[in-house]
Amino acid sequence: MQVTHPFRITAVTAALALCVVPAAAPAHATADHQHGKSISLAFLGRFTTGSVGTGASEITSYDPATRQVFVVNAQAGTVEVLDIRDPRTPRRVASLAAPGANSVAVRGGLVAVAQQAENKTGPGKVSLFAARSGKKLKEFTVGSLPDMVTFTEDGRRLVVANEGEPTSYCAGAVDDPEGSISVIDVARGTVRTAGFRAFDGKADQLRAAGVRISGPGATVSQDLEPEYVTVSGDTAWVTLQENNAVAIVDLDRAKIMQIVPLGVKDFGQVGLDASDKDGKIDIRPRPGVKGLYMPDAITHFRSRGRTYLVTANEGDGRDWDCHSDEVRVKNLTLSAQAFPNAAELKKDAELGRLTVAADSPKDASGAYTELYAFGGRSISVRSATGALVWDSGDELEQLIARELPGNFNADNEENNSFDTRSDNKGPEPEGVTVGEVRGRTYAFAGLERISGVVAYDVTDPRRPVLADYLNTRDFAGSVADGTAGDVGPEGVFFVPAGDSPTHRPLLIVGNEVSGTTAIYEVR
């Protein structure tokens, strides 16, 4: 299947200096760009920490009043403050001490940082800083492993996704804390917790509906792991990645109103490349293979008075001490009725290497009748109730196959890694944001493994159109030596034209593997 949306990719190759690398912007063109109907992404500059493979540049946010970017440096336990008045040469002007930092959000001159405890199963905290001075103002105790924090649109509240990850399952569910959502009233300094205990005892009903509950011995509230949050008005939507679901939260009541299963994607209808051992690009439909969407990041936009959600369908298994739910197809017994050519399918060059969920559907004899792969290898648009409106299908893999065939489904740990992620989640879209450009709405998603950012015009939520893809990874360089450009995008932040120092929209991209913060202009 060939991608038919016209556009051109430009990959930037640039050597990294120790701190800052200015670069000329690459040219882009789209069929509709000159008519104002599309966009192109242009590289402006990057800041590098000099620390590779340590999570030194993850989640990003921006303060328009000071023209400063705030970047989580998990390796150093800080939030780096970058001056981007000249975005071609971003420079670090301060570091905020924040041990265990996972996420950062900025609004109204305040910087909120979510920090996990030294023992990650213990209570975490959210620290509040003044954006201009960097002074710490207060802190709030929240749930276990606060993985994401965001302000409500009016800035009055903070919403925190407390993932509650286990340390292991060697002692059953003893070390598996409950997931929760914290709702913080910034002015009053109060914290309310929206927990999942009301769903304890309902595991069978949730599973029957399609919510994945899989931790051995865990209650529902222990098993549910909030990952990422988007907020509109008094409602929050929270991804429960490992559970393949979204929680809908009433912020006024600090209450979980609903857990929405996201369903499965039929890879028998759209293609995927399922093998890392066939030495080629082979994207094709695979009957009997389904994808658990399992989104990481989530955001939202409005269209014709309705709210729509956008998800980056990364996928994530559970691989802990004493429990893993990841298995390869070649090690499974397949139903002869569902897979009459099972022996052929279990070869490494076919489905044998594909990593799937151990709790995929089985028949009465224990043979697998369907194979649930991790992730949708896509981005999706959903209604406010969680119903699927649109999915990008196999377009991301087709895009990479066409534009970067020599590095198709490469890993982010090293270059010269052609096809090594085909057996496990493919390009892994992870971060996603939305923004308005010249009256149209665009979604921007980072591809964690191959790297780069893809842009879709989602103005019509039922018919999004691929607009551009920019990859500033240098495949001729060395990831380990820090000469491979921008590798492993984690967080993507949109800066509107009115808040931008260039008077054009910007994307601020935190690249966790290369330890770089890249600045792209949206043209």
List the domains of the chain with CATH numbers: 10-522 (2.130.10.10)
Integer Cα distance of 330 and 13 in angstroms:
39
Give which of 520, 521, 509 is closest to 58, Cα–Cα. Answer: 509
Give which of 407, 502, 465, 517 is closest to 39, Cα–Cα. Answer: 465
Question: Which residues are CB-neighbours of 83 under 8 A, at least 6 positions away?
Answer: 67, 68, 90, 91, 92, 93
Distances 198 to 50, 221, 253 between C-alpha atoms, Å = 46, 8, 14
pLDDT of residue 8: 42
The tokens for 123 are: 């209570």
Distance of CA 316 to the CA centre of its chain: 11
Q: Which residue type occupies 141?
A: T
Instruction: Write the secondary structure of 296-307 as one string of H (helix), E (strand) and C (coil).
Output: CCEEEEEECCEE
pLDDT of residue 37: 54
Give which of 384, 234, 377 is closest to 299, Cα–Cα. Answer: 384
- The 10s digit of each residue's pLDDT in 223-275 is 999 999 999 999 999 999 999 999 999 999 999 999 999 999 999 999 999 99
For the CA atoms of 272, 278, 280, 281, the dihedral, rounded to the nearest 10 degrees, stands at 0
Q: Under a CB-based contact definition with an 8 Å cutoff, are residues 180 and 143 in contact? A: yes
pLDDT of residue 172: 73
- How far apart, in Å, do the first and last CA atoms of the chain sit? 29
Integer Cα distance of 235 and 347 in angstroms:
47
pLDDT tier, 307 (very low <50, low <70, confident <90, very high otherwise):
very high
Q: Under a CB-based contact definition with an 8 Å cutoff, are residues 243 and 213 in contact? A: yes
pLDDT of residue 168: 86
Instruction: Write the secondary structure of 343-394 as one string of H (helix), E (strand) and C (coil).
Output: HHHCCHHHHHCCEEECCCCECCCCCECCEEEECCCEEEEEECCCCEEEECCC
Integer Cα distance of 296 and 307 in angstroms:
19
Find the farthest-apart pair of alpha carbons in the chain and give their distance in angstroms, rounded.
67
Q: Under a CB-based contact definition with an 8 Å cutoff, are residues 446 and 455 in contact? A: no
pLDDT of residue 32: 42
CB atoms inside a 10 Å sphere around CB 132: 12
Give the percent of the chain with pLDDT over 70: 93
Give which of 523, 509, 506, 514 is closest to 87, Cα–Cα. Answer: 506
Integer Cα distance of 521 and 523 in angstroms:
6
The tokens for 320 are: 């802990």
- The 10s digit of each residue's pLDDT in 349-380 is 999 999 999 999 999 999 999 999 999 999 99
- Phi first, then psi: what are they for 43, rounded to 5°? -75, 130
The tokens for 115 are: 């920090």
Q: Where are the beta strands (DSSP E) in 64-197?
A: 68-73, 78-83, 91-97, 101-107, 110-115, 123-130, 136-144, 146-151, 157-162, 180-185, 190-195
Please provide the average confidence, as pLDDT, over all residues in the chain: 94
Integer Cα distance of 47 and 461 in angstroms:
34
Integer Cα distance of 144 and 121 in angstroms:
5
Cα torsion 41, 44, 50, 55: sign: negative
For tokens 């009115």, name the residue. Answer: 498
Integer Cα distance of 44 and 69 in angstroms:
14
Q: Under a CB-based contact definition with an 8 Å cutoff, are residues 285 and 270 in contact? A: yes
For tokens 């956008």, name the residue. Answer: 310
Integer Cα distance of 403 and 335 in angstroms:
38
- Phi first, then psi: what are they for 468, rounded to 5°? -170, 165
Integer Cα distance of 231 and 142 in angstroms:
18
Give the percent of the chain with pLDDT over 90: 90
CB atoms inside a 10 Å sphere around CB 386: 19
pLDDT of residue 25: 33
Q: Under a CB-based contact definition with an 8 Å cutoff, are residues 44 and 88 in contact? A: yes
pLDDT average, residue stretch 138-148? 99
pLDDT of 72 > 50? The answer is yes
Q: Under a CB-based contact definition with an 8 Å cutoff, are residues 506 and 496 in contact? A: no
Question: Which residues are CB-neighbours of 225 under 8 A, at least 6 positions away?
Answer: 163, 164, 165, 179, 240, 241, 242, 243
Helix (H, G, I), strand (E, B) or coil at 44: strand
pLDDT of residue 6: 33
The tokens for 71 are: 């970047």
pLDDT tier, 413 (very low <50, low <70, confident <90, very high otherwise):
very high
- The 10s digit of each residue's pLDDT in 29-45 is 343 443 345 999 999 99
Integer Cα distance of 506 and 497 in angstroms:
7
pLDDT of 16 > 90? The answer is no
DSSP conformation class of 504: S
Strand 465-471 relative to strand 10-11: parallel, antiparallel, unpaired? parallel
